[in-house]
Amino acid sequence: MITANNAMQNLPAYLFARIERKIAQAQAEGRDVINLGIGDPDIPTPKNIIDTIAASVYDTENHRYPSSVGLLAYRQAVAGWYKKRFDVELDPEKEVVSLLGSKEGLAHVAFAFLNPGDISLIPDPAYPVYNIATLLANGQPYILPLTEENKFLPQFSDIPSEAARRAKLLFINYPNNPTGAVCDIGFFNEAVEFAKSYDILVCHDAAYSEISFDGLKMPSFMQAEGAKEVGIEFHSLSKTYNMTGWRIGWIVGNKEAIEIMGRFKSNVDSGVFQPVQYAAIEALSGPQDSVSKMKMIYQERRDEAIKGLERMGWKIDNPRASFYLWAKVPPEFTSDSFAEYILEKSSVVITPGNGYGKHGEGYFRIALTADKARIAEAFERMYSVLGKVSF
């Protein structure tokens, strides 16, 4: 009998794999499903990026193994983007490494830095990969509750010194998935000071930094004083340039950590297909009009979704970044039962909050990854089922 190791046997099915199965089942029954569950942009990749890969794929030099750390030209483009966007100086040879999408790096960082029993400080609710990777690497998650009262920011002063001393990694993520919360540079400065006190590597997931509304410009963790001494930042072209399927991202920051991640990757993967890297160079270095247009589209969708929720009785502050809405479920439901009820009765997919951790129970997440008309239709369907909700 073939069995997985202990870590795999205790690993639950990935949240979105379960959701995809439910969507497939509903569609097989002939239902018109509106998917507001998975955060996969429906906006096409910009044409200039597509044209670049279309041209470079015919160059036979690009058919060979790429560099595992990424083309120097790609890493230079990342460094140039950071300088232009955040006024942060990066050495493209020592402070940048490419990723097969940021998820890959976030999953592998635990394997590169944790010994069995070491602690990762993990926010909750949060992107599930932080916790899953820690468990797979035989590390020990220590949960940092994110609550409305604290604006979904972890409270470093609440972490017992015993746990902090055993911690090797601290995961943070702003703009935040799933809550849509944001932070300022003061929070990042606080994270640096905490990490310095306990010799912890800060891992900032910045995948949504370029999706912000109402004039907000999100800071980078790399802008915090001393950030390179204690931290690395993960980013991706997936959300900024609608390239989720292309699988390309990066890590920047502390040069010792970057060297370790580059060495790890050289042993477990063979890098990103070079035409994808050339397309990414075009995305980062070329016209940025598509990013501005994307923000406007998501802001309109956000406003439409807020209007739909308010009609049914929800009171929600407009999220200022990411393309998610995070809302409480009605009192008579759990997160799971509400998501199942909405799918069954209205053929609308929402994500149960407990899929992001125990502190997500009592909430659900909406992804603004359908056009405005479909979002309006989704809330019309939900209204016909729920009517006015009392909290």
pLDDT digits (tens, 9 = 90+) for 350-372: 999 999 999 999 999 999 999 99
C-alpha 387 chain-centroid distance? 32
CA torsion through residues 350, 246, 249, 111, sign:
positive
pLDDT digits (tens, 9 = 90+) for 221-231: 999 999 999 99
Going by their DSSP bridges, the two strands 231-236 and 201-205 should be labelled as parallel
- pTM assigned to the model: 0.96
What lies within 8 Å, CB to CB, of 385 at 6+ separation is: 341, 342, 345, 346
Give the pLDDT band (50/70/90) at residue 22. confident
Average pLDDT over residues 146-163: 97
pLDDT digits (tens, 9 = 90+) for 101-139: 999 999 999 999 999 999 999 999 999 999 999 999 999
**Structural domains in the chain, sorted by start:** 6-45+289-386 (3.90.1150.10), 47-285 (3.40.640.10)
Residue 18 has pLDDT above 80, yes or no: no
Average pLDDT over residues 40-47: 97
Cβ proximity of 326 and 319 under 8 Å: yes
Q: What is the pLDDT of residue 308?
A: 98
Residue 15 has pLDDT above 80, yes or no: no
